[in-house]
Structure 1
Amino acid sequence: MALLGCGVVGTEVVRLLLEQAGDLAARVGMPLELAGIAVRRPERVREGVPRELLTTDALGLVTRDDVDIVIEVIGGIEPARTLILEAMKTGKSVVTANKALLAEDGATLFAAAREYGVDLYYEASVAGAIPLLRPLRESLVGDHVHRVLGIVNGTTNYILDQMDTHGAGFNEALEEAQALGYAEADPTADVEGFDAAAKAAILAQLAFHTPVTAADVHREGITEVSAADVAGAKESNSVVKLLAICERVPAEEGRNGRGVSVRVYPAMIPRSHPLASVREAYNAVFVEAESAGSLMFYGAGAGGAPTASAVLGDLVAVARNMRGGTPGPLEVTYAKLPVLPMGETRTRYYIQLDVADRSGVLATVAEEFAKHDVSIQAVRQVGSGEDAQLVVVTHRAADAALSATVERLRSLDDVRQVASVMRVEADEV
């Protein structure tokens, strides 16, 4: 086999391959031998990695006759895409952890795997060591998945947990996450939701058998989550989490539904919900299926060792398929359901308003909700005089209608400030 990339994850893959060589051979029924490791800087010291295996000729490595499986942990779009496709053309199966590539151009990779009769496994691309993709692709393939909901980015979960538990500000929590190695020096991919959006696209494609790319995912990060948002959640016995939500939108007729909604954004969930107790940099995902009911997958969602564990799990599966002479299951996107725009998605809002404390204000606010066909579930007033606040929680409505309502509220003379706006997910607040 060949390994592309030898950073944090790649180094852990090499370590596990060498340390567990005997066990892996017994599980597969034949030895797994590492033929080479493609890197950009072979002079760099990599503890435990045999220097004689290092090469800068990645293309030459993946097309060698003595290579049967290629493991790709480079990340990014290129040169990973080209190297994977060249490997497949020469009959190599591929194990990858590349969520960005799968979310942007997975269709090309799946088509190539089908054309050349090879495997493409990618459990490590979502939620690290948590076995999530294989259950969706294999264990639940006979079921009808309605919804996938979860925390799939450890960096943002750590930041929001610190804001909730210790009262830290966003910048303070981010700096701590960077010091602990949870966040990169440039945290944009995490805090702006790009990482979670890529994972949501992969999950939605598997769950609903329909093509979904990262560009289809509505994405909002956590940089705008304020102390007022976190405090408002606490007052409602809730917590703020960055959620990836993939759901089948039901139709009046037809089992498959009229489309799918795929989105990533910070939202309030009640503290009684199991996702609320997911702390620090851990991940957790709920899968709701027609026959299986609700399933929860929890564990370490990132890091060298957890991700390498998922890579090796795929490696063993691919090697067993090769030994048996039959490739594993391929992606099926027969449903081809449309991905609905965010405006058509039905959500709930928590809205905190600083208002003038005089008669008729509540009626004026309620009238704006009614004009946009948004039903109010609960409302309460906090304080009085200059410090009067209204807290409104809505029933489910089209997100476009809710957003328009908030914009109209900002323009009212009686509303001094829209202090907090947060979507509400899971059980009722």
Structure 2
Amino acid sequence: MDKVLRVGIAGLGTVGASVARLLGAQAKDLAARTGRAIRIAGVSARDPGRDRGVDLSGAAFFADPVALARSEDIDVFVELIGGEEGAARASVTAALQAGKSVVTANKALLAKHGLELAQLAEQTHAALAFEASVAGGIPIVKTLREGLAGNSVARVYGILNGTCNYILSRMELEGLSFAECLADAQKLGYAEADPTFDIGGFDTAHKLAILASLAFGVKLDADNISIEGIQDISLADIKAAAELGFRIKLLGVAQRTEHGVEQRVHPTMAPLSSPIAQVMGVTNAVTVDADAVNELTLVGPGAGGMATASAVVADIADIARGIRSAPFGLPVAHLAAAEKSPMQRHEGGYYIRLSARNHIGAAAAIAQRMAERDISLESIVQRRPGSDDSVVPVVLVTYATTETSVREALAAIVADGHIAEKPQVIRIERD
């Protein structure tokens, strides 16, 4: 058996402590599978005396994670600190500069500095592994980078944020408002006190940037992803979706188009018949459309200590075996600059909910504005007025059209004064 692989873990929160427990519990099997024992040689955390429910007495403690990263007593540095700058970036950089392999779950760090870190890993012949950075326990990174290496991917999309999926699921199943579901998510620890990063779609965007790079061989480009969150989704939208045969999900979508690679995050009407629509609660799911396998969907826990630790330990095991893959599937020099497809060029169906003023000619004027932009309507439903009979809810479902056409038509409808509130627009993602 080869010599022991010495691991240093920076960050002993829920995930870090779970990694330590899993390495201990699976020590014998991991040694048999990888051909070498794996031992935690060093740790770094804010509070050295805190009881984390795992015996770390055999590991040296480092107050400074950068010092741990540079230590000659470790072979692999595991970064579980979080954040795109500060200690996380400094320690990962230090480890790679020292020629030590790195395992991280930090999607924000990768989305911002992934190319720079991957290039550094190439220069020092170190591994940079990040299975845990996207969709927790779902092995989507290895699936795209290695399992589907013989495929040409047309589209990758999925539910990448458990907080948002939990909120939308509760709204549908229990008829609760967005605000009520968000408050419950915060009480249960699924959402932060400031939930903007999750519900605003930014967490999903970071993960999507990583998936797009792996799927299409392009450089990470999180700054050019079109992002919309779920904060404006109402119960009226949830109910209308069900009646129309859809379920609302916050999806991250990256796909090839004739104009380039389109990357977008937004609430989506997913057909009830699709696998992605069946995923409820905090669970994540990723679907890959590729030429050889057609459609492949992976479903599993997207967060949580043990699920994320499972992905971290899988990366450590690969390093123990001597596996060194190009972090994003190709050497950095071979990654193409993503030819961006602006959101305005997006083509597809749309769900549009309008609060039309209840006067003669309003509905006809709305339909006329749609026709002027060559938007064909698959259905139009005019509902009974609520407590305010001066406003009539109108739901439109379009056939495939462009984002530009929809936005121009709605701007004209607003200017005409026929609606009382801001239009609600949700894109439809067909099978």
TM-score normalised by length of structure 1? 0.92
Q: Which residue of structure 1 lines up, in the alignment, with residue 75 of structure 2?
A: 68
Where structure 2 has 5 or more consecutive residues not aligned to the other structure, the ranges are: 1-6
CA spacing shift, 1:379–1:38, aligned 2, 3 Å = same
Q: Which residue of structure 2 lines up, in the alignment, with residue 128 of structure 1?
A: 136
CA contact (8 A) 1:198 1:213 kept: no
Q: Report the alpha carbon displacement of residue 360 of structure 1 after superposing the two structures with TM.
A: 4.1
| Residue among 399, 405, 408 paired with 1:404 | 408
Q: Which residue of structure 2 lines up, in the alignment, with residue 254 of structure 1?
A: none
Question: 5 Å matches for 1:52-67?
Answer: 53-67=60-74
Where structure 1 has 5 or more consecutive residues not aligned to the other structure, the ranges are: 252-257
Q: Does 1:164 align with 2:172?
A: yes
What amino acid maps onto 2:379 in structure 1? A
Return the alpha-carbon distance in structure 2 between the equivalents of residues 308 and 330 of structure 1: 19
Q: Percent identity?
A: 40
Return the alpha-carbon distance in structure 1 between the equivalents of residues 255 and 299 of structure 2: 19
> Secondary structure, in 3 states, of the residue corresponding to 2:96?
helix
Superposed CA deviations along residues 237-267 of structure 1, whole A, max 9, x for unmatched, are 3221111111111x2xxxxxx3101111112
Q: Which residue of structure 2 lines up, in the alignment, with residue 210 of structure 1?
A: 218
Moved more, 351-360 or 66-75: 351-360
Q: Report the alpha carbon displacement of residue 221 of structure 1 after superposing the two structures with TM.
A: 1.1
Return the alpha-carbon distance in structure 1 between the equivalents of residues 159 and 205 of structure 2: 11
What amino acid maps onto 1:291 in structure 2? A
Q: Report the alpha carbon displacement of residue 420 of structure 1 after superposing the two structures with TM.
A: 3.3
Return the alpha-carbon distance in structure 2 between the equivalents of residues 49 and 191 of structure 1: 37
CA contact (8 A) 2:129 2:327 kept: no
CA spacing shift, 1:388–1:174, aligned 2, 3 Å = closer
Q: Which residue of structure 2 lines up, in the alignment, with residue 92 of structure 1?
A: 100
Superposed CA deviations along residues 306-326 of structure 1, whole A, max 9, x for unmatched, are 0000000111011101xxxx6
Q: Does 1:41 align with 2:47?
A: yes
Across the aligned residues of Structure 1 and Structure 2, the Cα RMSD in angstroms comes to 1.9
Moved more, 20-29 or 367-376: 367-376
> Secondary structure, in 3 states, of the residue corresponding to 2:416?
coil
Q: Which residue of structure 2 lines up, in the alignment, with residue 327 of structure 1?
A: 324
What amino acid maps onto 2:41 in structure 1? A
Return the alpha-carbon distance in structure 2 between the equivalents of residues 221 and 314 of structure 1: 31
Moved more, 191-200 or 389-398: 389-398
Q: Does 1:374 align with 2:375?
A: yes
Return the alpha-carbon distance in structure 1 between the equivalents of residues 48 and 95 of structure 2: 22
CA contact (8 A) 1:11 1:49 kept: no
CA contact (8 A) 2:65 2:87 kept: no
Q: Does 1:290 align with 2:291?
A: yes
Q: Report the alpha carbon displacement of residue 200 of structure 1 after superposing the two structures with TM.
A: 0.6
Question: 5 Å matches for 1:131-142?
Answer: 131-142=139-150
CA contact (8 A) 2:154 2:290 kept: yes
Q: Report the alpha carbon displacement of residue 65 of structure 1 after superposing the two structures with TM.
A: 1.8
Moved more, 269-278 or 410-419: 410-419
Superposed CA deviations along residues 299-354 of structure 1, whole A, max 9, x for unmatched, are 10100000000000111011101xxxx62344225333312222222232211223
Superposed CA deviations along residues 189-223 of structure 1, whole A, max 9, x for unmatched, are 11111111100100011001001232121111111
Return the alpha-carbon distance in structure 2 between the equivalents of residues 415 and 62 of structure 1: 59
Q: Does 1:364 align with 2:365?
A: yes
Q: Does 1:5 align with 2:11?
A: yes
Q: Which residue of structure 1 lines up, in the alignment, with residue 191 of structure 2?
A: 183
Return the alpha-carbon distance in structure 1 between the equivalents of residues 41 and 339 of structure 2: 43
Return the alpha-carbon distance in structure 1 between the equivalents of residues 226 and 55 of structure 2: 41
Superposed CA deviations along residues 163-209 of structure 1, whole A, max 9, x for unmatched, are 01101111111121122222223222111111111001000110010
Q: Which residue of structure 2 lines up, in the alignment, with residue 255 of structure 1?
A: none
TM-score normalised by length of structure 2? 0.91
Q: Which residue of structure 1 lines up, in the alignment, with residue 37 of structure 2?
A: 31
CA contact (8 A) 2:229 2:250 kept: yes
Question: 5 Å matches for 1:274-285?
Answer: 274-285=275-286
Q: Which residue of structure 2 lines up, in the alignment, with residue 344 of structure 1?
A: 345
CA contact (8 A) 1:128 1:300 kept: yes
CA spacing shift, 1:245–1:370, aligned 2, 3 Å = same
CA contact (8 A) 1:409 1:418 kept: no
Q: Does 1:79 align with 2:87?
A: yes
Return the alpha-carbon distance in structure 2 between the equivalents of residues 137 and 145 of structure 1: 11
Moved more, 27-36 or 179-188: 179-188
